[in-house]
């Protein structure tokens, strides 16, 4: 029997791949989007056309009250337990330190880190009741420093610390993090081709990862095949940080 799973930032990139894979496996999915309403509607229609169950709601998860409303919408849509959550919503506002504005710093921290707290805080009791699984999408940027990404690195490193702390607090909930490297997505699509070519030289597998590969790992961590794994960070980067 499928599970009831929430995915944040599910209308594009890695989040979209996770939503579509989980739905194809028979799970019921609620996901949020911030601005990509057309894409969100298309994903829901596609899943329902294939016999699955999915709902999409607009929510700015950097706001605690908006996250609370979103989780309430998910509870109502599912009409039952919440078995899993994937915190994935995130943004970049890359800038060198000397030029970075407070708005660029705060917006990344608010969405990438505080947004994860807002969702987890509002869904914590549901997951403890169901003894479910929480997957936080972080980044190799949270493991290594990347020039021009101090705000993004800080947010992703914070997610790793938060994951490990929550795993020790919520003892019957499996809480893990996935740290993707360079993955084909909207974020990497805007990068300079020469820069990407140089980055591929530093990746032992000599290519960017696919969103579907991250989705496969998320599916495993949400499934009953990973019932003794918690508090871990799984790097999926083609060997870049090996």
Give the residue numbers annotated as catalytic, written as ranges: 152
Q: Report the distance separating Cα 218 and Cα 16, nearest Å.
A: 12
Q: 């496969």: which residue's tokens? A: 216
Question: What's the rounded Cα separation, in Å, for the pair 16 and 80?
Answer: 23
**Residue 151: count of CB within 10 angstroms of its CB:** 23
| CA dist., res. 232 & res. 168, Å (int) | 11
Beta carbons of 132 and 80 less than 8 angstroms apart = no
Q: What are phi and psi of 175, to 5 degrees?
A: -130, 115
Spatial separation of the C-alpha atoms in residues 29 and 168, rounded to whole Å: 27
How many residues are present in the chain? 242
In this structure, are residues 237 and 179 in contact, taking their beta carbons and an 8 Å threshold? yes
- Judged by DSSP in three states, 4 sits in strand
Cβ-Cβ contacts under 8 Å for 117 (sequence gap 6 or more):
162
């Amino acid at each position: 029997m499928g599970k009831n799973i929430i995915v944040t930032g599910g209308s594009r990139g890695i989040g979209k791949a996770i939503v579509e894979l989980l739905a194809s496996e028979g799970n019921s999915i609620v996901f949020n989007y911030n601005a990509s309403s057309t894409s969100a509607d298309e994903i829901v229609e596609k899943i329902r056309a294939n016999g699955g169950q999915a709902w999409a709601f607009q929510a700015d998860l950097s706001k605690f009250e908006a996250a609370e409303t979103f989780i309430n919408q998910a509870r109502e849509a599912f009409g039952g337990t919440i078995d899993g959550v994937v915190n994935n919503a995130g943004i970049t506002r890359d800038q060198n330190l000397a030029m970075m504005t407070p708005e660029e710093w705060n917006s990344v921290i608010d969405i990438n880190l505080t947004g994860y707290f807002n969702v987890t805080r509002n869904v914590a009791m549901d997951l403890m009741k169901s003894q479910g699984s929480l997957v936080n999408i972080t980044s190799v940027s949270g493991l290594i420093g990347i020039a021009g990404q101090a705000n993004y690195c800080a947010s992703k490193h914070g997610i790793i610390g938060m994951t490990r702390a929550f795993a020790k607090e919520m003892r019957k909930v499996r809480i893990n993090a996935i740290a993707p490297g360079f993955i084909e997505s909207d974020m990497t699509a805007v990068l300079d081709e020469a820069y990407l070519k140089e980055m591929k030289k530093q990746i032992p597998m000599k290519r960017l990862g696919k969103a579907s590969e991250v989705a496969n790992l998320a599916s495993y961590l949400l499934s009953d095949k990973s019932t003794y794994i918690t508090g871990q960070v799984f790097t999926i980067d083609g060997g870049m940080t090996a």
